[in-house]
């Protein structure tokens, strides 16, 4: 699969992301490394809050993740986080576990796609 198709399918808006960092791959690498460190922690907090039925924390964690995804132009993952945030805000439990699973999948797919795209341009 070509990098362009992989990026498109992943929900990563690479053009927007490169515009945000003004084509500075060094900056992009730094931001991506921070994301790689912080995402697992933030996701764990979200799932722990969901397990303990703490919808306030779910809402806060989803909001945090939404910001992380938005900063890297992970469009689909950001949309999932937004839906989770809204579901938690209105205490809608039906479907929230499925949305969290979708968030994890889309985040990891976008993450892998960004890594492949950057390797294609000699990261």
Domain limits at 107?
Answer: 3-120
Which of 60, 58, 90, 65 lies closest to 80 in space, CA to CA?
65
- pLDDT 10s digits, 60-114: 999 999 999 999 999 999 999 999 999 999 999 999 999 999 999 999 999 998 8
Please state the domain count of the chain. 1
**3-37: pLDDT as tens digits:** 455 445 678 888 899 899 998 888 888 899 999 99
- Indicate the average pLDDT of the chain: 89
Q: Give yes or no for a contact between 88 and 66, defined as CB atoms under 8 angstroms apart.
A: no
What's the pTM value of the predicted model, to 2 decimals? 0.87
Extended strands (E) in 1-123 = none
Residue 84: alpha-carbon gap to chain centroid: 12
Quick count: other Cβ atoms within 10 Å of Cβ 103?
26
Supply the CATH number for residue 95's domain.
1.20.120.160
State the pLDDT at residue 3. Answer: 46
Q: Tell me how far apart the terminal alpha carbons of the chain are, to the nearest angstrom.
A: 19
């Amino acid at each position: 699969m070509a990098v362009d198709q992989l990026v498109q399918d992943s929900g990563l808006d690479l053009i927007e992301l490169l515009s945000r960092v003004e084509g500075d791959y060094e900056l992009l690498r730094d931001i991506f490394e921070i994301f790689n460190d912080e995402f697992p922690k933030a996701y764990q907090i979200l799932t722990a809050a969901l397990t303990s039925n703490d919808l306030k924390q779910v809402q806060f964690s989803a909001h945090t993740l939404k910001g992380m995804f938005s900063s890297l132009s992970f469009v689909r993952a950001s949309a999932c986080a937004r839906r989770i945030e809204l579901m938690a805000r209105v205490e809608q439990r039906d479907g929230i576990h499925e949305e969290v699973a979708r968030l994890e999948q889309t985040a990891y797919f976008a993450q892998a796609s960004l890594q492949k795209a950057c390797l294609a341009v000699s990261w």
